[in-house]
Chain A
Amino acid sequence: MRRLLRSFSFRLALIYAGLFCLSVALLVGTGYWLRVTVPMDEVRGRLEREAEQLQTAYGRGDLPPLAAALERRAARLDGPMAFHALLTPEGRTVAANLPSWPLQPRRDLLFIEADAFADGVEIDHTALVRDIRLPNGARLLVGRDVEELINEGEILRTAAVWILGVTLLLGLGGGWLMSRAIGRRIEALTVTVRQVMEGDLTGRVHVRGTADDFDRLGETLNMMLHRIQTLFQAVQRVSDNAAHELRTPLARLIGRLEALEHLAPDASPARLAAGEAIVEANRLQQILSALMRISRLENGRHPLHLQRTDVVQLLEDLFEFYQPEAERIGTNLIVSARRPLVADLDLDLVFQALSNLLDNALKHAGAGCRVEISAMREAGGLVLSVRDDGPGIADEDAARVTEQFYRAAKASAVPGEGLGLSMVAAIAHAHGATLELVAAHPGLRVSLIIPEHHATGAEQRGTI
């Protein structure tokens, strides 16, 4: 329901229905005013005038002439049926064709039921009555029949309720249908765009062939996607070829350098320089491999080999691998995870990711610190974290550390290429996981949150 209310097309339909109801209400209101309010006001005015005239003409004299005048008024057929009642100051009736009236006089106009019988059939009448006290103490009630006006008003009111109700229902129903129809087509667009966003560039919007607005939008989008795909493939080819073409010359370069190192006399400056050059060339090769791997992971071309994994075993192996290094630099390395903790993971990739995180933690936290690797199952899925209590990172760095080659300002003293976290981010992406960097006060906590349900989805994508 909230989703429906948030939908743009439904809100539009709602506004439309509202405006439609308003115009219908205005129409019915005008009819009511013309047919009921105005005639009723006329009757009211006439009564006031009649009461005024009778009061001036007969108000101070005897009652019989007034009674005669009232009888004449009732007999005249110059408007709605006339009603009256004349009472002496003591309350005795002198003349009346009203069936009843209130005991105490009232100052305002009042409605009195004045049903009449003709030939044994009851005819409904309602009289609008003016009740006045004459100067001679007599009480005079004069009225006019407004039964028809009241009936008409009732009919119009009932009609208004029905018309508005039906209009509102039609408006809402129509709005719902419209929003569903539009919503479906927008949803189709959204699904395609999301599919493309997740790395499947072959996704295309389904076009109905009706050449309507959505079809045109879909066609334009498809053309755009086709263009992006072409460009992307071109870039891919270039970078693949580049990386590939770079490897062989690099191998030759390293070969030549090794030959050079070998030829130079022991401990000569030339030999040292050659050795350093080899180290640099190897670094170049590592960067190249890492870049290629990241790019393959990021665009979903690296197939995931998911397997049922004992996560605690994974952490223990990681611990075992890094423990000697942690001991050397004087860091307290801790694993906290409890069996059973099983998940479908790409073992090598997750090990690589955690290894990079641990490597970073050990490098940046330094001696005397505590580094904790933990795994637990939470509502969002499996959470694998590496936490240190070292200096942590600045907020502005947190957003950028996963960028390739980005290195935080204060990390410049620590060796590295700035690709470790990019690799972790790419591995997270391949697993449909999120990478989270949170200040742990003190230190930093980096978590991989791997949603459970995604495991099967990732496998499907991996096989494309």
Chain B
Amino acid sequence: MHILLVEDDAALATHIMAGVREAGHVVEHCADGRDALVRATCECYDAIILDRMLPTLDGLKILAALRATDDATPVLILSALGDVDERVRGLRGGGDDYMAKPFAMSELLARLETLARRNAPVAETTSLLRVADLEIDLAAHSVTRAGRRIALTLRELRIVAYLARNAGRVVTRTMLLENVWDYNFDPQTNIIDQHISKLRQKISEDNEAELIHTVRGVGYMMRGA
């Protein structure tokens, strides 16, 4: 992936670039708001990581200017303004995802992956998802594994669907919380883990292969075999 990083803090930028490069992406960096806008409109990136508080131009202004030119490049806003309101402003302003500083590199990478994919033609409208021998029919609200029907609650269905859509990619706990639950809140305990473990019990019976894998310290990943 070709990624543009807009971040004025040099040390943090170096760290992010190192992480993103290590994950196999090409990354360009710029520290100034105007410069960033010029580059974003001239070149074609797969995703943009955008800081909010920049010299000369606010990140949200860059975003607005970018969206005004019908540019749909996925933008991940990265900001020290982590409050719910700021988050909502960022997303309403055209951001595709919002992360508060400080963040874990793994979380950033996981989000970048899903962002870039979201832009790909494999639209979210697909109602049939398949991972190994697991089949999810969203329209019919049914989940089957190797022909065996699995009874799931609506929430469990949403978790499975989200994981399946991002099959092969890491999904962090925060991402699950944001995408599967309709409340914007911060649970004090890792309740998500309990939901996943229940889900695992339902999906994988005794001798079936595990489909939901734990990525230590980061989150989960769904993949066959």
A interface residue numbers (CB < 8 A to B): 244, 247-248, 250-256, 258-259, 275, 278, 281-282, 285-286, 289-290, 292-293, 296, 302-303, 317, 320-322, 324-325, 327-328, 347-348, 351-352, 355-356, 359, 362-363, 416, 420
- Whole-angstrom distance between the alpha carbons of A256 and B102 in the complex? 12
Name the one of B12, B80, B101, B153 contacting A320, with C-beta atoms under 8 angstroms. B153
Contact A317 to B102, CB < 8 A, known contacts A244-B80, A252-B12, A324-B191: no
| Closest chain A residue, CB of each to CB of B153 | A320
Contact A255 to B16, CB < 8 A, known contacts A248-B101, A278-B217: yes
- Whole-angstrom distance between the alpha carbons of A321 and B183 in the complex? 11
B187, A359: Cβ atoms closer than 8 Å: yes
Residue B83 is within 8 A (CB to CB) of chain A in the complex: yes
| Closest chain B residue, CB of each to CB of A286 | B186
B-chain residues with CB within 8 Å of residue A420 when the two chains form the complex: 188
B-chain residues with CB within 8 Å of residue A302 when the two chains form the complex: 83, 85
B83, A247: Cβ atoms closer than 8 Å: no
Q: Pull 13 A–B residue pairs with CB atoms less than 8 Å apart, ordered by A.
A: A247-B80, A250-B102, A251-B12, A251-B103, A252-B9, A254-B105, A282-B104, A302-B83, A302-B85, A324-B197, A325-B191, A348-B184, A362-B189
B15, A325: Cβ atoms closer than 8 Å: no
- Whole-angstrom distance between the alpha carbons of A302 and B80 in the complex? 17
Interface of A is mostly: helix
B-chain residues with CB within 8 Å of residue A289 when the two chains form the complex: 82, 100, 186
- Whole-angstrom distance between the alpha carbons of A292 and B83 in the complex? 8
B-chain residues with CB within 8 Å of residue A325 when the two chains form the complex: 189, 191, 194
A254, B187: Cβ atoms closer than 8 Å: no
A427 smallest CB distance to B (angstroms) = 11
A353 smallest CB distance to B (angstroms) = 9
- Whole-angstrom distance between the alpha carbons of A281 and B182 in the complex? 28
Residue B155 is within 8 A (CB to CB) of chain A in the complex: yes
- For window 158-207 of chain B, which residues contact chain A by CB distance below 8 Å? 181-189, 191, 194-195, 197-198
B-chain residues with CB within 8 Å of residue A290 when the two chains form the complex: 186
* B68-108 Cβ-contact flags toward A at 8 Å (1 or 0): 00000000000011111100000000000000111111100
Name the one of A250, A258, A317 contacting B106, with C-beta atoms under 8 angstroms. A258
- Whole-angstrom distance between the alpha carbons of A362 and B101 in the complex? 30
A352, B186: Cβ atoms closer than 8 Å: yes
| Closest chain A residue, CB of each to CB of B102 | A251
B9, A248: Cβ atoms closer than 8 Å: yes
B-chain residues with CB within 8 Å of residue A281 when the two chains form the complex: 102
Interface of B is mostly: loop
Residue B132 is within 8 A (CB to CB) of chain A in the complex: no
B-chain residues with CB within 8 Å of residue A278 when the two chains form the complex: 104, 217
Counting chain A CB atoms within 10 Å of each CB, the highest count among B16, B81, B82, B195 belongs to B82
Residue B11 is within 8 A (CB to CB) of chain A in the complex: yes
| Closest chain B residue, CB of each to CB of A354 | B185
Counting chain A CB atoms within 10 Å of each CB, the highest count among B9, B102, B103, B197 belongs to B102
- Whole-angstrom distance between the alpha carbons of A296 and B86 in the complex? 13
B104, A324: Cβ atoms closer than 8 Å: no
Contact A255 to B85, CB < 8 A, known contacts A244-B80, A248-B80, A355-B185: no
Name the one of A258, A293, A317, A416 contacting B188, with C-beta atoms under 8 angstroms. A416
- For window 121-156 of chain B, which residues contact chain A by CB distance below 8 Å? 153, 155
Residue B64 is within 8 A (CB to CB) of chain A in the complex: no
A-chain residues with CB within 8 Å of residue B80 when the two chains form the complex: 244, 247-248
A335 smallest CB distance to B (angstroms) = 15
A-chain residues with CB within 8 Å of residue B224 when the two chains form the complex: none
B-chain residues with CB within 8 Å of residue A363 when the two chains form the complex: 189
A348, B84: Cβ atoms closer than 8 Å: yes
| Closest chain A residue, CB of each to CB of B155 | A320
B104, A258: Cβ atoms closer than 8 Å: yes
A-chain residues with CB within 8 Å of residue B194 when the two chains form the complex: 324-325, 327-328
A-chain residues with CB within 8 Å of residue B11 when the two chains form the complex: 252
- Whole-angstrom distance between the alpha carbons of A247 and B101 in the complex? 6
A296, B102: Cβ atoms closer than 8 Å: no
B8 smallest CB distance to A (angstroms) = 10
| Closest chain B residue, CB of each to CB of A322 | B191
Counting chain B CB atoms within 10 Å of each CB, the highest count among A255, A293, A325 belongs to A255
- Whole-angstrom distance between the alpha carbons of A359 and B190 in the complex? 10
Residue B26 is within 8 A (CB to CB) of chain A in the complex: no
Q: Please list the 7 inter-chain residue pairs (A to B) with the smallest Cβ-Cβ separation, ordered nearest first.
A: A251-B102, A324-B194, A255-B15, A247-B80, A352-B185, A250-B102, A348-B184
